[in-house]
């Protein structure tokens, strides 16, 4: 067997991702975590000297598939703005040989959005009708694609400050995602009477104060890999029912959780549940006496599971 892994480009990954059921692959992953058939260590942060950036490494093992994988993602500080890339290496647990080296940009976008969609399906009220999306990049678009069929949305309102500088054609491409989608003129307009708010930004600081919402809502957050990045004020965690993708790793990495624990008396023991617990029905749906917050940091296993699916297709 060759010890040289197959190298998959971003374009190849994009094409193959269109042939797999991404949410279903991730649902199986979270069921495997619940059943002890997968291993997800905490993510590893390797900082560059002099604040020049960092690498975040995400590891994972899928026992049934007999694969080990690592996703490694640099955050490189530059004058023209940070550079972020990502690659996923897949290795055989049977031969110890590398199988695949995959440009993970498309994997990251797909698994980030699909994980949020799984959370929305598991947590949002069945009667939810108004969806707000904050952000307009590739990840925000993918969020809309994966979530648009999960509830009988009467309105999908999208807001992003960057749209002010976009052409009419670029703005129109957003509304083509779904006939119900409308671009809001302000954050306040987008959030009006929202049942579900998906934060899909790359902001390193809060973009939404849950206190400004008119009623209890589900708020989902992904953030970015800038140090201690967060999309809601850390102190707001004390006033919400908090869920995450994986309780063993997220509190040690999510910026608002770290800050809330250090400065605002919040503790990871107050997490209501994570996706393995929700999907295995070990945790009940929230009752919405107050806001519900879902935080995803992204698991290496998500990338490993998708990379393995693409590798099987390629073979």
pLDDT of 129 > 60? The answer is yes
pLDDT tens for residues 231-246? 999 999 999 999 999 9
Rounded-to-integer distance, Cα 234 and Cα 236, Å: 5
DSSP annotation of 43 = P
Place of tokens 């060759």: 2
pLDDT band at 2 (very low <50, low <70, confident <90, very high): low
Average pLDDT over residues 20-49: 94
Q: How confident is the model at residue 202, as a pLDDT?
A: 87
Report pLDDT for 165: 77
Average pLDDT, the chain: 94
Chain centroid to CA 43: how far? 14
pLDDT of residue 19: 96
Query: Is this structure's pTM higher than 0.85?
Result: yes
- pLDDT at position 82, please? 86
- Span 163-191, mean pLDDT? 90
Pick from 205, 264, 212: which is nearest to 229 by CA?
205
Mean pLDDT, residues 12-37: 96
Give pLDDT, residue 1: 52
Q: State how far the Cα of 6 lies from the Cα of 247, in Å rounded to an integer.
A: 33
The average pLDDT across 112-141 equals 97
**Per-residue confidence (pLDDT) for residue 252, from 0 to 100:** 92
CA pair distance 230, 217, nearest whole angstrom: 18
């Amino acid at each position: 067997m060759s010890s040289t892994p197959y190298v998959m480009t971003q374009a190849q990954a994009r094409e193959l991702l269109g042939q797999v059921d991404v949410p279903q692959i991730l649902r199986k992953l979270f069921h495997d975590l619940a059943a002890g058939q997968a291993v997800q260590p905490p993510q590893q942060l390797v900082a560059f000297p002099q604040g020049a950036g960092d690498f975040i490494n995400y590891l994972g093992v899928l026992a049934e598939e007999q694969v080990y994988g690592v996703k490694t993602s640099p955050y490189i500080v530059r004058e023209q703005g940070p550079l972020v890339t990502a690659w996923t290496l897949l290795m055989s647990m049977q031969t110890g040989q590398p199988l695949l080296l995959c440009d993970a940009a498309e994997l990251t976008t797909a698994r980030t959005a699909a994980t949020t969609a799984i959370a929305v399906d598991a947590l949002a009220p069945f009667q939810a009708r108004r969806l707000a999306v904050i952000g307009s990049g590739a990840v925000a678009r993918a969020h809309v694609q994966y979530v648009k069929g999960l509830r009988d949305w009467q309105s999908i309102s999208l807001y992003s400050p960057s749209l002010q500088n976009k052409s009419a054609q670029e703005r129109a491409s957003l509304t083509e995602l779904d006939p119900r989608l409308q671009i809001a003129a302000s954050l306040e307009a987008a959030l009006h009477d929202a049942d579900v708010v998906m934060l899909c930004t790359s902001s390193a600081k809060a973009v939404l104060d849950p206190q400004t919402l008119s009623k209890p809502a589900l708020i989902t957050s992904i953030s970015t890999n800038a140090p201690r990045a967060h999309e809601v004020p850390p102190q707001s965690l004390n006033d919400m029912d908090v869920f995450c993708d994986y309780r063993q790793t997220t509190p040690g990495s999510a910026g608002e959780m770290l800050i809330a624990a250090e400065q605002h008396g919040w503790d990871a023991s107050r997490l209501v549940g994570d996706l393995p617990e929700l999907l295995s029905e070990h945790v009940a749906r929230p009752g919405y006496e107050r806001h519900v917050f879902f935080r995803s940091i992204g698991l290496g296993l998500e990338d490993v599971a998708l990379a393995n699916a693409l590798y099987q297709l390629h073979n």
